Structure 1
Amino acid sequence: MNRLLIIDGMNLVRRILAAQPDQDDMQALALRALSACRKLCRHHQPSHVVVVWDGTDVSWRKQLYPDYKKGRKPMPESLAKGLPSIISELKSQGFNSLQADSEADDVIATLAYKLSKSGGEAIIVSTDKGFAQLNLNGVNQWDYFANQWLDIAALEQKLGISRQQLLDFAALSGDSGNKIPGIAGIGPKSAAELLRSYRSLANIYNALDKLGAKQAQKLADGREMARLSYKLAKLRTDMSLQVRLSEYRRQN
């Protein structure tokens, strides 16, 4: 069975860089990134491995909602300049990369989806909990820095919802990390309570007459923003990728 290790490249190197004493030492960063990739391969024994990187195009999400990810720290200048050499170093050691046009998330989700549907196994290496929505057979998420699988049960307990409700939860309460707005006046606690009672966003909107007047009004006023937020939070799994799995067969 094919087992593809999909490494969220920017997530990995930015986390490594943040813990590095000299933020401008790109050679040290390249070596640490290479060491991480080797360690991941030793642990997971994949048949294929790919490192996916963000591109420079404006994402469709930002075009749809200009405030998406507004205020997020830009990539450090030293990293922007050093990234090509890091990618080159990884390639020379058998770790091929795939560059997304804009955000890497949709490319990662599409790779995982396609492999899952063909009966393979995908392991997404990232600390980004947005990938938890990919409730697919054969797709799991590994946190390299915590050295453990993403604990879905713990995430569900923390949010007070089930995995299947993650997108509805984001539609209602938003996502502050990505500046996804959600509905004004509906916070995480209210969103979780609504979803526990009514199970889905559609059911909630079909039951506005059963809710308190104030909350029902917030939901009614925020219907379009909920739709937008759902769309922004949802990962695409239908990206057109002109690649073959064989390009990422493990070399070392």
Structure 2
Amino acid sequence: MNRLLIIDGMNLVRRILAAQPDQNDMQALTVRAIAACRKLCQHHQPSHVVVVWDGTQVSWRKQLYPDYKKGRKPMPESLAQGLPSIITELKSKGFNSLQADSEADDVIATLAFKLNQSGGEVIIVSTDKGFAQLNLRAVKQWDYFAHQWLDLDALEQKLGVSRQQLLDFIALSGDSGNKIPGISGIGPKSAAELLRSYRSLANIYNALDKLGSKQAQKLADGREMARLSYKLAKLKTDMTLDVRLSDYRLQQ
């Protein structure tokens, strides 16, 4: 069976860089990135591996909602200049890359979805919990820095909703990390309580007459923002990718 290791490249190198004493030492970062990829392959024994990188184009999410990810620290200038060399060095060691036009997340989600559909296994290496929404049978997520799988049961317990309700939860309460707004006045606790009672966003809106007047008004006023937030949070799994799995076969 094919087992594809998908590494969220920027997620990996930016966290490695943040732990370096010298933030401008691209040679040390390159060495550590190669070592990380080797450790990941030794641990997970994939048949294929790809490192996916963010591109430079403005994402469709930013075009839809200009405040999306507002306030995020820009990529350090040293990393922006050193990234092409890092990608080249990774390739020379057998770790091929795939560059997204804008955000890597949708490319990663599409690769995972397609291989899952064809009966393969996928391991996504990232600390981004947004991939939990994929909820696919043979797709798992590994945190390289914590050395553990993403625990979906623990995530469900923390948020108070099931993994199938994650997008509805974000539509209601937003996502501060990505500056997804949600509905004004509806926090995580209220969102979880609503979803426990009514199971889905659609059901909640069909039951506004059963809610308290203040909460019902907040939901009614925030309907369009909930719709927008859901769209911003949802990963695309149908991106057009001009690649073949064989491009990423791991050479032993």
Which TM-score applies when normalising by structure 1? 1.00
**1:43-62 per-position Cα deviation (integer Å, ceiling 9, x unaligned):** 00000000000000000000
In the TM superposition, residue 137 of structure 1 has moved relative to its aligned partner by: 1.3
Aligned mates of 2:71, 2:30 — CA distance in 1: 27
Match of 1:204 in 2: 204
Match of 1:102 in 2: 102
Whether 1:27 and 2:12 are equivalent positions in the alignment is no
Match of 2:55 in 1: 55
- Runs of 4+ with >3 A deviation: none
CA RMSD of aligned residues (A): 0.4
Amino acid at match of 1:171: A
Which aligned pairs between 1:1-252 and structure 2 lie closer than 5 A? 1-252=1-252
Structure 1: runs of 5 or more not aligned: none
Amino acid at match of 2:112: A
**1:138-163 per-position Cα deviation (integer Å, ceiling 9, x unaligned):** 10000000000000000000000000
Q: How many residues align?
A: 252
SS in 1 for 2:17: helix
Aligned mates of 1:21, 1:194 — CA distance in 2: 46
Aligned mates of 1:39, 1:164 — CA distance in 2: 32
Structure 2: runs of 5 or more not aligned: none
**1:46-102 per-position Cα deviation (integer Å, ceiling 9, x unaligned):** 000000000000000000000000010000000000000100000000000000000
In the TM superposition, residue 136 of structure 1 has moved relative to its aligned partner by: 0.7
SS in 2 for 1:182: coil
Q: Alignment identity in percent?
A: 88
**1:82-136 per-position Cα deviation (integer Å, ceiling 9, x unaligned):** 0001000000000000000000000000000000000000100000000000111
SS in 1 for 2:102: coil
Aligned mates of 1:132, 1:115 — CA distance in 2: 17
Aligned mates of 2:198, 2:78 — CA distance in 1: 49
In the TM superposition, residue 245 of structure 1 has moved relative to its aligned partner by: 0.2
Amino acid at match of 1:35: A
